Copies of this chain bind each other. A is one copy, B any other.
Amino acid sequence: MSKCEQCIIKQFNSLKSLTKNELVRISSCKTSRFIKKGEVIFDEGEAVNGVYCIKDGICKLSKLSENGKDQIVKMVVKGQLLGQRSLISGESSNLQAVALNDMEVCFIPKSEIIADLQKNPKFSFDVLQDMANDLKEADDIIVNMAQKSVKQRLAETLIYIYESFGVNPDGTLSVLLSREDYANIVGTATESAIRVLSQFKKEGLISTVGKFIKIENINGLKRVE
């Protein structure tokens, strides 16, 4: 099994602040795991006894609302950590995590991470900054949900995915989402999301290649009202 000390993935998350010794210790107790597209990594209400370091792939974090609809709250991608929040608050997860494509992750047990949080202030501050950033993003989402139209939110989602996760060689968005996923990010009915995407297509703002979406006019998307 590969070693954390030599893993380049950690450069992209708080684990980079761990010392060589800490990494060796974590490496010895971590477990590597492959996750298939659509597989549930952990469920809402489930105890998450550690943190996942994502080596490859992307997943969605969602919460089931009382009316039975799933709301996607965040997407977590290669290089990032998954399950930090629950670990720190010591509660079971408030969100469900589902793989959006095939993933490879390392699981680090809770006890190890907590030990490091309490001993290594640099690591702990790094996690704190991560969380502060998540909180800021969450605030922005709240404002968007509350104040913007479905059309605007969907346009911004497309731009967000484009800018954060990039494109395939043919220019289509590298993250492949169903129309239902788009609806669950934007917080609308699936039919509404489909309709808006159709409209964007008619207006030449996007094009589609099978299920893949390609942004054709990003400035147009930014001007959507």
* Interface residues, chain A, with chain B CB atoms under 8 Å away: 63, 65-67, 69, 71, 73, 84-85, 88-91, 94-95, 117-119, 121-122, 124-125, 127-129, 131-136, 138-148, 186-188
Instruction: Decide: B121 and A118 in contact? CB cutoff 8 A.
Output: yes
Bound complex: CA of A141 vs CA of B121, how far in Å? 31
- With A65-B143, A66-B147, A71-B146 known, 16 other A-B pairs at CB within 8 A are A63-B139, A63-B140, A63-B143, A65-B147, A69-B147, A71-B142, A88-B129, A90-B129, A94-B139, A118-B122, A121-B121, A128-B128, A128-B131, A131-B131, A131-B132, A135-B138
Describe A's contact surface by its main secondary structure.
helix
User: Do the beta carbons of B138 and A142 come within 8 Å of each other?
Assistant: yes
> Nearest chain B CB to A36's CB is how many angstroms away?
26
Select from chain B the residue with minimum beta-carbon distance to A120. Answer: B121
A85 touches B135 (CB 8 A): yes
Measured CB to CB, the closest approach of chain B to A120, in angstroms, equals 8
Find out whether the CB atom of B63 lies under 8 angstroms from the CB atom of A132: no
Question: Shortest 7 CB-CB distances between A and B: which pairs?
Answer: A146-B187, A138-B138, A145-B145, A65-B147, A89-B132, A88-B132, A71-B143
